Amino acid sequence: MQAQSGDAGFIRAVETKRRAGVVHSVFNRALNLRFDDGPDLYTLISRRKLRAPNTLNLGDVDFHAAAVVVGDRVTAADGTLDIAGKLRVGVARASSWQPTIPALHHDADRMRVGLEIARSFVLRHGMRGGALEDHCGPLLSRMVSRRIGDESDGLVAAYRAGRIAEAVDHASRLIGLGPGLTPSGDDLLLGFIAALQTRRPLPAEAAAFGAAVVRIARSSTNDISLAGLVAAADGAAGEAVSNLLCAICNAAIPAIEAAVRDVLTIGASSGTDMAVGVMSGLRASCR
Protein backbone atom coordinates (compact mmCIF):
# COMPACT_ATOMS: atom_id res chain seq x y z
CA MET A 1 0.00 0.00 0.00
CA GLN A 2 1.01 3.62 -0.47
CA ALA A 3 1.28 6.19 2.29
CA GLN A 4 -0.96 9.17 1.60
CA SER A 5 1.13 11.79 3.38
CA GLY A 6 3.87 12.10 5.95
CA ASP A 7 6.44 14.10 7.83
CA ALA A 8 9.13 15.02 5.30
CA GLY A 9 11.84 13.75 7.65
CA PHE A 10 10.17 10.35 7.98
CA ILE A 11 9.78 10.08 4.22
CA ARG A 12 13.48 10.89 3.75
CA ALA A 13 14.38 8.27 6.35
CA VAL A 14 12.63 5.62 4.25
CA GLU A 15 13.94 6.85 0.90
CA THR A 16 17.58 7.70 1.47
CA LYS A 17 19.25 4.73 3.11
CA ARG A 18 18.62 1.15 4.10
CA ARG A 19 17.58 0.90 7.73
CA ALA A 20 16.40 -1.85 10.03
CA GLY A 21 14.19 -1.55 13.05
CA VAL A 22 11.51 -3.12 15.20
CA VAL A 23 7.82 -2.62 15.96
CA HIS A 24 7.59 -0.88 19.34
CA SER A 25 3.81 -0.90 19.93
CA VAL A 26 0.66 -1.77 17.98
CA PHE A 27 -2.94 -0.57 18.14
CA ASN A 28 -5.84 -1.08 15.73
CA ARG A 29 -5.22 2.19 13.90
CA ALA A 30 -1.68 3.12 14.93
CA LEU A 31 1.72 1.47 14.93
CA ASN A 32 4.97 2.74 16.42
CA LEU A 33 8.38 1.58 15.28
CA ARG A 34 11.98 2.38 16.12
CA PHE A 35 14.99 2.05 13.85
CA ASP A 36 18.07 0.33 15.25
CA ASP A 37 20.31 3.34 14.56
CA GLY A 38 18.47 5.87 16.76
CA PRO A 39 16.10 6.41 19.68
CA ASP A 40 13.24 8.15 17.84
CA LEU A 41 9.78 6.61 17.52
CA TYR A 42 8.06 6.70 14.12
CA THR A 43 4.30 6.29 13.78
CA LEU A 44 1.98 4.89 11.11
CA ILE A 45 -1.60 6.17 11.40
CA SER A 46 -4.60 4.59 9.67
CA ARG A 47 -7.71 6.45 8.45
CA ARG A 48 -7.05 9.73 10.24
CA LYS A 49 -4.90 12.43 8.63
CA LEU A 50 -2.77 13.41 11.61
CA ARG A 51 0.03 15.77 10.62
CA ALA A 52 2.47 15.16 13.43
CA PRO A 53 6.23 14.71 13.78
CA ASN A 54 7.65 11.38 12.55
CA THR A 55 4.24 10.26 11.26
CA LEU A 56 2.98 8.63 8.07
CA ASN A 57 -0.74 8.67 7.22
CA LEU A 58 -2.06 5.54 5.54
CA GLY A 59 -5.41 4.54 4.11
CA ASP A 60 -7.72 2.04 5.78
CA VAL A 61 -5.66 -0.61 7.55
CA ASP A 62 -6.18 -2.45 10.83
CA PHE A 63 -2.74 -3.30 12.16
CA HIS A 64 -4.06 -6.00 14.47
CA ALA A 65 -5.94 -7.60 11.58
CA ALA A 66 -2.68 -7.53 9.62
CA ALA A 67 -1.19 -9.64 12.45
CA VAL A 68 1.53 -7.10 13.20
CA VAL A 69 2.92 -7.67 16.69
CA VAL A 70 5.43 -6.00 18.98
CA GLY A 71 8.94 -7.14 18.10
CA ASP A 72 8.29 -7.67 14.38
CA ARG A 73 11.34 -6.65 12.37
CA VAL A 74 11.08 -3.65 10.06
CA THR A 75 13.23 -2.74 7.07
CA ALA A 76 13.28 0.50 5.11
CA ALA A 77 14.83 0.51 1.66
CA ASP A 78 14.20 2.12 -1.73
CA GLY A 79 11.20 4.07 -0.49
CA THR A 80 9.37 1.14 1.08
CA LEU A 81 8.77 0.08 4.67
CA ASP A 82 8.47 -3.69 5.08
CA ILE A 83 6.99 -4.85 8.37
CA ALA A 84 7.92 -8.52 8.79
CA GLY A 85 6.49 -9.28 5.35
CA LYS A 86 3.00 -8.61 6.71
CA LEU A 87 2.67 -5.04 5.50
CA ARG A 88 4.56 -3.05 2.87
CA VAL A 89 4.19 0.73 2.77
CA GLY A 90 5.56 2.84 -0.08
CA VAL A 91 6.26 6.55 0.30
CA ALA A 92 7.02 7.56 -3.30
CA ARG A 93 3.64 9.22 -3.87
CA ALA A 94 3.11 10.57 -0.36
CA SER A 95 2.67 14.31 0.03
CA SER A 96 4.88 15.76 2.74
CA TRP A 97 4.82 18.46 5.39
CA GLN A 98 7.26 20.05 7.82
CA PRO A 99 6.22 19.83 11.49
CA THR A 100 8.25 22.89 12.49
CA ILE A 101 6.56 25.08 15.12
CA PRO A 102 6.12 28.56 13.57
CA ALA A 103 7.76 31.73 14.82
CA LEU A 104 5.00 34.07 16.02
CA HIS A 105 4.70 37.69 17.06
CA HIS A 106 3.82 37.99 20.75
CA ASP A 107 1.63 41.06 21.15
CA ALA A 108 0.59 40.95 24.82
CA ASP A 109 -2.82 42.60 24.41
CA ARG A 110 -3.81 40.55 21.39
CA MET A 111 -2.60 37.35 23.01
CA ARG A 112 -4.67 37.98 26.14
CA VAL A 113 -7.77 38.26 23.96
CA GLY A 114 -6.87 35.09 22.09
CA LEU A 115 -6.18 33.21 25.30
CA GLU A 116 -9.52 34.19 26.82
CA ILE A 117 -11.40 33.03 23.72
CA ALA A 118 -9.50 29.73 23.64
CA ARG A 119 -9.93 29.17 27.37
CA SER A 120 -13.69 29.67 27.16
CA PHE A 121 -13.97 27.22 24.27
CA VAL A 122 -11.79 24.57 25.94
CA LEU A 123 -13.78 24.82 29.18
CA ARG A 124 -17.03 24.29 27.25
CA HIS A 125 -15.91 21.49 24.96
CA GLY A 126 -12.81 19.87 26.46
CA MET A 127 -12.63 16.37 27.89
CA ARG A 128 -12.65 16.43 31.68
CA GLY A 129 -10.72 14.16 33.97
CA GLY A 130 -7.15 15.24 33.24
CA ALA A 131 -6.02 18.86 33.14
CA LEU A 132 -9.70 19.85 33.39
CA GLU A 133 -11.30 18.62 36.60
CA ASP A 134 -14.42 16.50 36.30
CA HIS A 135 -16.35 17.82 39.29
CA CYS A 136 -18.70 14.82 39.17
CA GLY A 137 -15.93 12.27 38.69
CA PRO A 138 -14.30 9.88 41.18
CA LEU A 139 -12.40 11.41 44.08
CA LEU A 140 -9.02 10.13 42.83
CA SER A 141 -9.60 11.69 39.41
CA ARG A 142 -10.53 15.02 40.99
CA MET A 143 -7.44 14.94 43.20
CA VAL A 144 -5.15 14.25 40.22
CA SER A 145 -6.75 17.08 38.24
CA ARG A 146 -6.28 19.48 41.14
CA ARG A 147 -2.63 18.50 41.45
CA ILE A 148 -2.14 19.04 37.71
CA GLY A 149 -3.76 22.46 38.07
CA ASP A 150 -1.62 23.41 41.05
CA GLU A 151 1.63 22.34 39.39
CA SER A 152 0.64 24.04 36.13
CA ASP A 153 -0.10 27.31 37.93
CA GLY A 154 3.22 27.08 39.75
CA LEU A 155 5.00 26.35 36.48
CA VAL A 156 3.53 29.42 34.78
CA ALA A 157 4.34 31.71 37.71
CA ALA A 158 7.92 30.45 38.03
CA TYR A 159 8.66 30.63 34.31
CA ARG A 160 7.21 34.14 33.98
CA ALA A 161 9.40 35.28 36.87
CA GLY A 162 12.50 33.80 35.25
CA ARG A 163 12.92 31.16 37.96
CA ILE A 164 13.68 28.34 35.53
CA ALA A 165 14.96 25.84 38.09
CA GLU A 166 11.70 26.23 40.01
CA ALA A 167 9.72 25.87 36.78
CA VAL A 168 11.57 22.62 36.05
CA ASP A 169 10.69 21.38 39.55
CA HIS A 170 7.00 21.94 38.84
CA ALA A 171 7.37 20.25 35.45
CA SER A 172 9.06 17.24 37.05
CA ARG A 173 5.96 16.69 39.16
CA LEU A 174 3.74 16.83 36.07
CA ILE A 175 5.68 14.20 34.11
CA GLY A 176 3.83 10.89 34.15
CA LEU A 177 0.94 12.40 36.12
CA GLY A 178 -2.64 11.58 35.24
CA PRO A 179 -4.59 9.12 33.12
CA GLY A 180 -4.11 8.03 29.54
CA LEU A 181 -1.63 6.24 27.30
CA THR A 182 0.15 9.57 27.26
CA PRO A 183 -0.42 10.92 30.80
CA SER A 184 -2.20 14.24 31.12
CA GLY A 185 0.79 15.97 32.69
CA ASP A 186 2.98 14.95 29.75
CA ASP A 187 0.48 16.22 27.19
CA LEU A 188 0.20 19.51 29.06
CA LEU A 189 3.99 19.88 29.03
CA LEU A 190 4.10 19.12 25.30
CA GLY A 191 1.75 22.04 24.66
CA PHE A 192 3.66 24.25 27.10
CA ILE A 193 7.04 23.59 25.46
CA ALA A 194 5.55 24.05 21.98
CA ALA A 195 4.28 27.49 23.02
CA LEU A 196 7.75 28.51 24.23
CA GLN A 197 9.17 27.51 20.84
CA THR A 198 7.20 30.24 19.02
CA ARG A 199 9.72 32.95 19.96
CA ARG A 200 12.63 33.60 17.60
CA PRO A 201 15.43 33.57 18.30
CA LEU A 202 14.61 30.90 20.85
CA PRO A 203 15.27 32.33 24.33
CA ALA A 204 17.99 30.53 26.27
CA GLU A 205 15.59 29.83 29.12
CA ALA A 206 13.12 28.13 26.75
CA ALA A 207 15.84 25.88 25.36
CA ALA A 208 17.10 25.07 28.85
CA PHE A 209 13.60 24.32 30.14
CA GLY A 210 12.77 22.00 27.24
CA ALA A 211 16.07 20.13 27.56
CA ALA A 212 15.58 19.70 31.32
CA VAL A 213 12.05 18.33 30.88
CA VAL A 214 13.24 15.82 28.27
CA ARG A 215 16.12 14.74 30.50
CA ILE A 216 13.75 14.04 33.41
CA ALA A 217 11.12 12.42 31.18
CA ARG A 218 13.60 9.83 29.87
CA SER A 219 13.39 8.02 33.20
CA SER A 220 9.93 9.13 34.32
CA THR A 221 7.42 8.36 31.56
CA ASN A 222 6.75 6.01 28.66
CA ASP A 223 8.37 6.05 25.22
CA ILE A 224 5.32 7.41 23.40
CA SER A 225 4.98 10.41 25.72
CA LEU A 226 8.72 10.97 25.61
CA ALA A 227 8.67 11.10 21.80
CA GLY A 228 6.20 14.00 21.86
CA LEU A 229 8.22 15.92 24.44
CA VAL A 230 11.46 15.39 22.50
CA ALA A 231 9.83 16.66 19.31
CA ALA A 232 8.44 19.77 21.03
CA ALA A 233 11.80 20.57 22.61
CA ASP A 234 13.34 20.23 19.14
CA GLY A 235 10.82 22.73 17.74
CA ALA A 236 8.36 20.30 16.14
CA ALA A 237 4.68 19.64 16.83
CA GLY A 238 1.55 18.45 15.12
CA GLU A 239 -0.26 20.74 12.71
CA ALA A 240 -3.25 21.07 15.06
CA VAL A 241 -1.05 22.40 17.88
CA SER A 242 0.76 24.82 15.55
CA ASN A 243 -2.56 26.08 14.16
CA LEU A 244 -3.84 26.71 17.69
CA LEU A 245 -0.71 28.69 18.57
CA CYS A 246 -1.12 30.83 15.44
CA ALA A 247 -4.82 31.43 16.04
CA ILE A 248 -4.36 32.50 19.67
CA CYS A 249 -1.48 34.85 18.87
CA ASN A 250 -3.57 36.45 16.13
CA ALA A 251 -6.73 36.59 18.32
CA ALA A 252 -8.82 35.37 15.38
CA ILE A 253 -12.09 34.07 16.86
CA PRO A 254 -13.21 31.70 14.04
CA ALA A 255 -9.67 30.38 13.65
CA ILE A 256 -9.31 29.81 17.40
CA GLU A 257 -12.55 27.84 17.61
CA ALA A 258 -11.61 25.73 14.58
CA ALA A 259 -8.11 25.11 15.92
CA VAL A 260 -9.37 24.15 19.38
CA ARG A 261 -11.84 21.70 17.81
CA ASP A 262 -9.01 20.06 15.87
CA VAL A 263 -6.75 19.76 18.91
CA LEU A 264 -9.57 18.32 21.04
CA THR A 265 -9.92 15.39 18.61
CA ILE A 266 -6.44 14.12 19.52
CA GLY A 267 -6.76 11.00 21.67
CA ALA A 268 -9.31 10.81 24.46
CA SER A 269 -8.12 13.57 26.77
CA SER A 270 -4.72 14.26 25.17
CA GLY A 271 -5.98 17.09 22.97
CA THR A 272 -7.60 18.86 25.90
CA ASP A 273 -4.44 18.53 27.97
CA MET A 274 -2.30 19.82 25.08
CA ALA A 275 -4.62 22.81 24.62
CA VAL A 276 -4.33 23.64 28.33
CA GLY A 277 -0.55 23.37 27.99
CA VAL A 278 -0.49 25.65 24.95
CA MET A 279 -2.45 28.30 26.83
CA SER A 280 -0.23 27.93 29.91
CA GLY A 281 2.92 28.20 27.82
CA LEU A 282 1.73 31.35 26.05
CA ARG A 283 0.78 32.91 29.39
CA ALA A 284 4.20 32.04 30.78
CA SER A 285 6.06 33.51 27.82
CA CYS A 286 3.98 36.72 27.72
CA ARG A 287 5.88 38.88 30.23
pLDDT band at 105 (very low <50, low <70, confident <90, very high): very high
What is the average pLDDT across 100-116? 96
pTM: 0.96
Instruction: Note the pLDDT tens digit of each residue in 32-79.
Output: 999 999 999 999 999 777 899 999 999 999 999 999 999 999 999 999
pLDDT reported for residue 17: 84
Cβ atoms < 10 Å from Cβ of 255: 17
Share of the chain above pLDDT 90, in %: 95
Please state, for a pLDDT cut of 70, what percent of the chain lies above it: 100
Which pLDDT score, from 0 to 100, does residue 180 have? 79
Q: Which residue, 1, 11, 12, 90, is CA-closest to 47?
A: 1
Tell me what pLDDT residue 47 has. Answer: 79
**How far apart, in whole angstroms, are the C-alpha atoms of residue 141 and residue 149?**
12
Report the chain's mean pLDDT, rounded to a whole number: 96
For residue range 175-214, what is the model confidence (pLDDT) as tens digits? 999 977 899 999 999 999 999 999 999 999 999 999 999 9
Domain ranges for the chain: 5-97, 108-285
Q: Are strands 41-46 and 30-35 parallel, antiparallel or unpaired?
A: antiparallel
Please tell me the distance from the alpha carbon of residue 237 to that of residue 59, in angstroms, as a whole number: 22
Contact 118, 244 (CB under 8 A): yes
Q: What is the reported pLDDT for 30?
A: 96
pLDDT at 286: 84
